[in-house]
Amino acid sequence: MGWRYLLFTLGGITLFLWGIRFFVFTLLESPRFLSGIGRDAEAVEVIHKLAKFNGRTPSLTVEELEAPGRAASARSSSQERRHILSKSSKYDPVHIKALFATPKMAWSTSLLIAIWGKDSVVVAHVTLTKFRYHRTCLHIV
């Protein structure tokens, strides 16, 4: 019976913390994303909010953010500009190759993959062992 109280308590704490996160803390959209879809004014506003939170005073204006875009727009359309900004967010094998670019990065990446693999094997083993134990205790064949 005690495990039910534990689950209800943990569920209540989780729900309470979710409510605090949802209603108290605001998550801002990425300035890079906003700029990529052509909402430069909102991107600058987000940068100003972040700077204010960190105790800094930014000097970035919408005109400064749009200046490189105006130079590029003389050569290409805005749709092409947006495509270029969001292109680096697409999946590409180059992203995987970058994880092994230096020996240190290769070591770190390999170590993380090994740890994740080990953890998944351990979780699967514990789950199966627990299932077999309960099946044996309940005499289910």
Residue with tokens 């969001």: 86
Query: Who's near 60: CB < 8 A, 6+ residues apart?
Result: 44, 47, 48
CA end-to-end span of the chain: 26
Cα distances (Å, whole numbers) of residue 20 to 8, 9, 15, 51: 18, 17, 9, 23
More confident: 2 or 119: 119
pLDDT at 98: 84
3-state secondary structure of 137: helix
More confident: 68 or 27: 27
pLDDT at 61: 86
pLDDT at 99: 87
pLDDT at 84: 47
Query: Is the per-residue pLDDT at 59 higher than 50?
Result: yes
Angstrom distance (rounded) from CA 134 to CA 125: 14
The sign one gets for the Cα dihedral 43, 45, 48, 54 is negative
pLDDT at 136: 61
pLDDT tens digits for range 9-58: 999 999 999 999 888 888 888 988 888 888 889 999 999 999 998 999 88
pLDDT at 69: 65
Residue 84 CA to its chain's centroid (Å):
21
pLDDT tens digits for range 80-137: 545 544 555 566 777 788 889 899 999 999 999 999 999 888 888 888 777 666 666 6
* Ranges of each domain in the chain: 1-90, 91-141
Return the amino acid letter for 94: V
Half-sphere exposure of residue 81, counting CA atoms within 13 Å on the CB side? 21
Q: Using H for helix, E for strand and C for coil, what is the string for 39-80? A: CHHHHHHHHHHHHHHCCCCCCCCHHHHHHHHHHHHCCCCHHH
Angstrom distance (rounded) from CA 111 to CA 116: 9
